[in-house]
A = this chain, B = another copy of it.
């Protein structure tokens, strides 16, 4: 049975300010919840319509479909909904590749990028303060659980880059060198910019290496690649060398 105050709390978590106040976020669906249960992130309460999970029974609340509908933000609720604690900020480890985002606004893009980081073994994702919140329900849905394995840190990107200026810092810019002909470092920071404006001038000045993905075909009219698509191509280009260098 769900109390009115529980419903109110859960529904409030669709908004960033309440997620930050309560330090809580919502995951929906059996698969997504399972991925977070397998991570270090702490479960607070699990609401389920019958699906069983291997968790502390004191944290489980059995509800019916009608109640789930009241707290779900999905058109078709997915049998279970869980509340987890937003983890405390961890130190950003700079000993491997780090992806940095400068003002990404679209939740779907951020979700796809988190999934790509997970696929390409990037454990650290740093986001400028104006990047969309990774605990936004739409981001959570788009990550398919990858958020449980990628450490996402929000910070003042300009300040961070000033302090870590000795790392290799690269980013995609229209006037950059052809990525297919570039030597790409396996460590360091790779920056992707806002959907409409790309990397901002304040951040662009930190770049040691500017790369771009060339366009093919006779008619060159496609305005730009979507940022998540560009991320997939650049991460693939960086990681492929771990195979191809062994070959040469």
Contact check: which of B123, B226, B236 meets A233 at CB < 8 Å? B236
Chain B residues whose C-beta falls within 8 Å of the C-beta of A239 in the assembled complex:
216
Q: Is the CB of B221 within 8 A of A118?
A: yes
A203-238 with Cβ < 8 A to chain B: 213-219, 221-223, 225-226, 228-229, 232-233, 236-237
A128-185 with Cβ < 8 A to chain B: 144-146, 149, 178, 180-181
Complex: A63 Cα to B225 Cα, angstroms? 33
Q: Is the CB of A222 within 8 A of B115?
A: yes
Chain B residues whose C-beta falls within 8 Å of the C-beta of A118 in the assembled complex:
217, 221-222
Q: Is the CB of A216 within 8 A of B178?
A: no
Contact check: which of B123, B145, B219, B229 meets A232 at CB < 8 Å? B229
Chain B residues whose C-beta falls within 8 Å of the C-beta of A237 in the assembled complex:
236, 240
A13 CB to closest chain B CB (Å) equals 24
Q: Is the CB of A216 within 8 A of B121?
A: yes
Complex: A35 Cα to B233 Cα, angstroms? 26
Contact check: which of B115, B215, B243 meets A119 at CB < 8 Å? B215
Q: Is the CB of A181 within 8 A of B247?
A: yes
Q: Mark A12-36, 1 if CB is under 8 A from B, else 0.
A: 0000000000000000000000010
Q: Is the CB of B213 within 8 A of A121?
A: no
How big is chain A's contact interface, by range? 35 or more
A116 at the interface (CB under 8 A from B): yes
Instruction: Given A118-B221, A233-B233, decide whether A242 and B216 contact each other with a Cβ distance below 8 A.
Output: yes
Q: Mark A72-107, 1 if CB is under 8 A from B, else 0.
A: 000000000000000000000000000000000000
Chain B residues whose C-beta falls within 8 Å of the C-beta of A214 in the assembled complex:
243
A244 at the interface (CB under 8 A from B): yes
Chain B residues whose C-beta falls within 8 Å of the C-beta of A181 in the assembled complex:
243-244, 247
Q: Is the CB of B223 within 8 A of A123?
A: no
Chain B residues whose C-beta falls within 8 Å of the C-beta of A242 in the assembled complex:
216
Complex: A240 Cα to B222 Cα, angstroms? 18
Instruction: Given A144-B223, A223-B144, A229-B229, decide whether A216 and B180 contact each other with a Cβ distance below 8 A.
Output: no
Task: Jot down 17 A-B pairs with beta carbons below 8 A, ordered by A.
Answer: A112-B226, A112-B229, A115-B226, A116-B225, A118-B217, A119-B217, A121-B216, A121-B217, A121-B218, A145-B221, A149-B221, A180-B243, A181-B243, A216-B239, A229-B232, A233-B233, A237-B240
